[in-house]
Amino acid sequence: MLAVLDNQSSQDSCIHIDHPECNDLPDELQFSVLGYREMNVVLDPNEKAVWCQFNPQSVPSFTRPLLHDMLRFKNSVATLFARAPASEPPLKFVVGYSGIPGIYNLGGDLAYFANAIRAKDRAALTAYAQECCEMVYNVYNAFDLPIIVIGLIQGDALGGGFESALSCNVLVAERRSRFGLPEILFNLFPGMGAYSLLSRRIGAVKAEEMILSGKIYSAEELHALGLIDVLAEDGHGEQAVRDWIAQNRKRHRVLKAVHDVRRRVGGLTLQELFDVTGRWVDEAMALDDTSLRRMERLRAAQAKRHS
């Protein structure tokens, strides 16, 4: 049975995981002391899997509170491993999915972008962009732990939402899911990992085609390209993840080794992501008023859809 570990709404009353009062807590309670604001965390001890449900309070995008929750989650998992004997890892799988029906994630916080650009606040935009890069890099490297990160997509994954999905070690998507990089609509490009991740999987030419076209792709199309590992029927995504875990639990070690080799050969570094996002900031800060209005109209459409 799944146990909900955390759905607190405030950090004020939480006890951090390294607090002495947490030392004797069982594994399934270690996460609940963190008081996530925009995530629910669920542990299935039978699967040795943690399910992270994203529940942003506004438009389902990568807000700074959600990014901070993800960083704190990474640190709590690392602490859990540090306390466990090497012969008995506490976790093998982390599953990320959305609590918003029909939407995985719509990408970067467009309101934050527009406000920072209009205020000419380059430092704020750079800080946000680098936090996104760190999130992508942490997931891509499975938090530098002996786990496999599974992304479950049950709706639209656009812009940064698509980038974050691509960073997962294994991607499971329901047929209704849609993927795309719409940044070209306001004269920008996706700057938090899309080119780095796509070019390593499908080549630079196809990656640039996806980035510059703004096309929305179906789950079937991306499965045919090899970007989606498991194509699930609508409404059966969670069961497809559980089936995949059951089928691969005994060969977890070799799968993890193959993923590590893939990353080593791919050679992606955090500095590469920072360099690319630095150019993204350059282009964002140079957007004219027409492009900014397009960005703000897209943000308004996202808010209307969410409400």
Active site residues: 163, 183
Residues pairing with 263 in the sheet: none
Cα-based distances in Å from 113 to 100, 157, 192: 23, 19, 13
- Counting Cβ atoms within 10 Å, is residue 288 exposed (0-12), middle (13-18) or buried (19+)? exposed
Hey, how many other C-beta atoms are within 10 angstroms of the C-beta on 123? Answer: 9
Structure tokens at 285: 């800060």
Size of the chain, expressed as the number of residues it contains: 307
